[in-house]
Chains A and B, each alone.
Chain A
């Protein structure tokens, strides 16, 4: 059978085009167009609130790469990623292995509890956590003092040394439920007879874990790492509501930096949308680069 001419093919598929149209328009307006525009804006000297905008080429980029706050935020974003993702992956796996026990009658209840922070609005968690970790009688400090773990209250969010680890801990708490669900899905793909064999206690059981079960779930691990890594770079709501990047910018990750340079005026800086876009584009390209790198790694590992 010979192929129909293209015009006929297109005409026959007219309903298909009509059906993809609404979603394409929305995605075009709110995803594709903004990506294009942010490249253009990044070349402007523009506050965003007036009509005056001056084309200045790559000057915004030049300024960004010479700003030490920019690089601090850039690096901090990656510290955040490398500090949280491994913890989530390992902790999520351990919990999933336990909760994958059919015998454990309360497993569904534990799953629900661990998943609960995931459905809670992130901004609310950020705000509530500023109370929980308050140095003035906050529950965290109360608990530490009453159990004599510390003698003086710790200013978790007010001290530049403790603020980032605290926010990272809250982040892990908030999203661990998702990691656990990913792992539970992965563990469900292991054949039952492998599990039956792994029941054997002692050395042989552990060997089965390392040589048989882990290789089966490894492809999942790679997808999970990829999803988690990108997720850990998108932490704006949590940090904005918990610390707004403070104290003294010590928890300012990339997204906070962009938001601060684009909108926030109470730190005395002028809003500069053009400059913020340049920082955003730089950041977006860096994230994309990492994603592609991981994607390639994923493909290679899956083929083996």
Chain B
């Protein structure tokens, strides 16, 4: 149930209108940098620095062509897509299995396992990046997408496990017993009974991991230092800035290619974004 404090009384129209207008102005300024880059991606370089207006004179689609083909953003787009999709699958399967066992069973060593997990919550990524880089080199997977994907999936926030564990622990025992009566084993119970029940958590975890994998920067920038072919979009735009630093409109187009998919996803799946984010403080 939702609770609200309606300190703007419905009768008080003046207060209502003032607050609404204040928020509209605030929202416009807030979102302006994003609108600015979107509009810049359709402008000529000359026009970008010409004024504050957001509507381009004509839509310069060539910016996107230059970014996609010339600056290789097309390739980076698919790299990022592969890393994101595969790491989401890995993360959902592994943390789902982990959370299931932690949430429903007790076994020797469980407390130690949870303790180790919790202690890694606040380990900054910067702290582990150098050995990860070295590890991928030693395993000979630093020069292709496998290493980057695994490392992206491996730095899994503990919150995913806690979300799964919390959800699984609330599933009634009767369901499981019924499955046992039918002769379903451990794995079948998990796959056919339990997993379908957790669709909301799967959605939340998937979205959080998409957000993480798509937007990550430190890991891909380090791993791809010597391998431009496996760059992700974020790293690609960063390299773009270094290589063609006068092509503002092309860079704006490359930025839009990077951020638009996630913004669209967010607009359609907002509920799960919010649930995932709020899960961190509710727990």
Q: Is the CB of B161 within 8 A of A23?
A: yes
- Say if the beta carbon of A248 comes within 8 Å of chain B: no
Interface size class of A (residues with CB under 8 A): 35 or more
Q: Which one of B63-71, B89-97, B170-178, B195-203 contacts A?
A: B89-97
Contact call B37/A128, Cβ cutoff below 8 A: yes
| Cβ contacts under 8 Å, B187 to chain A | 15
Could you show 8 A-B contacts with beta carbons less than 8 Å apart? A26-B150, A26-B153, A34-B131, A35-B120, A104-B19, A120-B215, A142-B51, A227-B280
CA distance A35 to B113 in the complex (A): 17
C-alpha spacing A262/B129, complex, angstroms: 10
Q: Which of B3, B30, B262, B263 contacts A190 (CB 8 A)?
A: B3
B194 to chain A, nearest CB (A): 11
Contact of B134 among A6, A37, A128, A192 (CB under 8 A): A37
- The chain B residue with its CB closest to the CB of A266 is B242
A13 touches B277 (CB 8 A): no
A116 close to chain B: CB less than 8 A: yes
Q: Which A residues are within 8 Å of any B CB, using their own CB?
A: 6, 9-10, 12-13, 15-17, 19-20, 22-24, 26-27, 29-38, 41, 48, 97-98, 100-106, 109-110, 112-125, 127-132, 136-137, 139, 142-143, 146, 173, 178, 181-182, 184-192, 195, 198-199, 205, 220, 223-224, 227, 230, 233-234, 236-237, 240-241, 254-255, 258-259, 262-263, 273, 276-277, 280-281, 283-284, 287-288, 291
> Is A30 touching B155 in the complex (CB atoms < 8 A)?
yes
B30, B107, B116, B235: the one contacting A13 at CB < 8 Å is B107
A258 CB to nearest B CB, Å: 6
Q: Contact between B23 and A110 (Cβ–Cβ < 8 Å)?
A: yes
Instruction: Check A220–B281 contact: CB distance below 8 A.
Output: yes
Q: How far is the CB of A20 from chain B (nearest CB, A)?
A: 5
Q: How far is the CA of A173 from the CA of B221 in the complex (A)?
A: 24
Residue with the greatest number of chain B CB neighbours at <10 A, chosen from A15, A137, A142, A281: A15
Known: A20-B98, A97-B5, A185-B278. A120 touches B130 (CB 8 A): no
Q: Is B266 on the interface with A (CB-CB < 8 A)?
A: yes
Query: Given A29-B150, A192-B4, A259-B218, list of 11 further CB < 8 A pairs?
Result: A15-B186, A33-B135, A35-B127, A38-B131, A102-B2, A110-B23, A116-B30, A122-B215, A123-B217, A124-B255, A185-B282
